[in-house]
Amino acid sequence: MANSGSRFQVRPVSGALGAEVFGVPFGRLTDADLATVRELLLEHLVLFFPDAAELEPEAHKEFGRGFGKLEVHPFLAKLPGHDELVVLDSEQGAKADVWHTDVTFSDSPPVASVLQIVQCPPAGGDTMWSNQYLAYEAVSAPLRDLLDGLTAVHVFEHPGTSYRAEAEHPVVRTHPETGRRSLYVNRLFTRRIPQLAPVESELILRHLFELSESPQRVCRFRWQPGAIAMWDNRATQHYAVNDYVGRRVGRRVTILGDKPEGEAPRWGAWTAETAGNGVRDTMARA
Task: List the catalytic residues.
Answer: 100, 102, 238, 252
Give the C-alpha separation, 82 to 28, whole Å: 21
Largest CA distance in the chain: 74
DSSP per residue, 233-284: TTSEEEEE----SS--EEEEEEE-------PPPSS----HHHHHHHHHHHHH
User: Which candidate, 64, 237, 73, 72, places its Cα nearest to that of 154?
Assistant: 237
Residue type, 60: H
Q: Are 161 and 248 in contact (CB under 8 A)?
A: no
User: Which candidate, 181, 126, 188, places its Cα nearest to that of 148?
Assistant: 181
Q: Residue 279 forms beta bridges with which residues?
A: none
Secondary structure (3-state) at 39? helix
Pure H helices in 11-115? 31-44, 57-65
Give the C-alpha separation, 129 to 213, whole Å: 9
In 83-104, which positions are buried (b, 16+ CB within 10 angstroms) versus exposed (e)?
ebbbbbbbeeebbbeebbbbbb
